Amino acid sequence: MTNNVFLAASICLFLLVTNSFAQKDDLPLHLFSYDKTVPLALTDSVIGHEDNVAIHRISFASPVADRVNGLLFVPSGKGPFAGILLQHGAPGTAMNQTPRGVYVARHGAVVVAISAPFAERSGQAIQLTPADSVEQVTYMINLQRAVDLLLSRPDVDPTRLGYVGRSHGGAMGGLLAGIESRLKTYILAVPDGGLISHFTIASGEPADQLPIPVEQRKRWLAAMMPIEPIRFIHRATSATLFIQSARQDEAVSTFASEQLHKAAPAGTVVKWYDAGHRLNSQSYVDQLSWFHDKLGTTAPGPADQNGPNFPPPATKP
């Protein structure tokens, strides 16, 4: 079978499976179960303060791996606060989430950002081998443990929990929404349907973006298909969803975005932005407004209009 024929077949299979699973619940949910009695064994140290937000470096035990590393952002005051998971893209780590964490936390939320498993090792974030599926399952379990961490804090209101993730973190939020019922709302910024969607689907036509041998591709697709986020997002009926997509997105095609929108449960709010994959300042203001409406955090004000205080891009010498 030629590469293009195989890829076309895989895309057809992908669309067939995602459409069929929109009506079914025979999904491998057992993969995301974990021993909830494992102690968090949390380590926590304050590493700075910004805009009345304390920034903590944290680490806690994973039931299926070693340690989960990340950042914790705690606003001043006594609370109770909302609790929000904040997830990075690929490649990336929790450690570069400080501008976004502070931006959200100063509105009355304890924010947890953890590093994805791929951020804890060397090499490419996505390996295009079945190891990616192992890491994705581990990631979901670690995110559920991050919810456990939020719920263990007396300054967090357990009825006001949310999630915001961008790019890969947005796609993973679609998967988490299908398996984690304790969060009240999810914001998925510039997501696609998952790694298969990202690497094999462009404008609805075959797009050979997997420069690997055919047999390796078959093994990778077989490992990733069962846990592709687009297959799970329809189960997110106990939470509200806000999906932010970009019309000039250079990383996520309009077709891939629309496939995820179609798979999402009824009532999902979708907003398109005239922007690229990085979105724009309005998208961040909209996130604050969404959390204000759904979780009771404070509304965005004049100081929020430019978005998070990202450092300027590095200049070439």
CATH code of 276's domain: 3.40.50.1820
Tell me the pTM: 0.91
Q: Does the residue 304 lie in any domain? A: no
Share of the chain above pLDDT 90, in %: 82
| Rounded Cα distance, 263 and 194, in Å | 12
pLDDT tens-place string over residues 291-303: 999 999 999 999 9
**Residue count of the chain:** 317
Count the alpha carbons within 13 Å of 175 in the hemisphere toward its beta carbon.
31
| Cis peptide upstream of residue 117 (ω within 30 degrees of 0) | no
Q: What is the mean pLDDT of the segment spanning 213-228?
A: 93
pLDDT digits (tens, 9 = 90+) for 84-116: 999 999 999 999 999 999 999 999 999 999 999
Domain, as residue range, for 163: 3-299
Assigned token pair, 51: 């805009």
Whether residue 5 has pLDDT greater than 60:
no
Quick one: pLDDT band at residue 212, thresholds 50, 70, 90?
A: confident
Question: Rounded to the nearest 10 degrees, how much is the dihedral formed by the CA atoms of 144, 147, 149, 154?
Answer: -160
- 7 three-class SS: helix
Structure tokens that stand for 207 in this block: 């797009």
Residue 120 lies inside a defined structural domain of this protein:
yes
pLDDT tops 60 at residue 15: no
Specify if 315 maps to a domain. Answer: no
- The mean-pLDDT minimum among 20-24, 36-40, 43-47, 289-293 falls in 20-24
Q: Is the pLDDT of residue 316 over 80?
A: no
Which pLDDT score is estimated for 311?
83
Domain total for the chain? 1
- Within-domain flag for 10: yes
Say if residues 196 and 116 touch (Cβ distance below 8 Å). no
Question: How far, in whole angstroms, is CA 1 from its chain's centroid?
Answer: 35
Which pair of structure tokens corresponds to residue 106? 């100063």
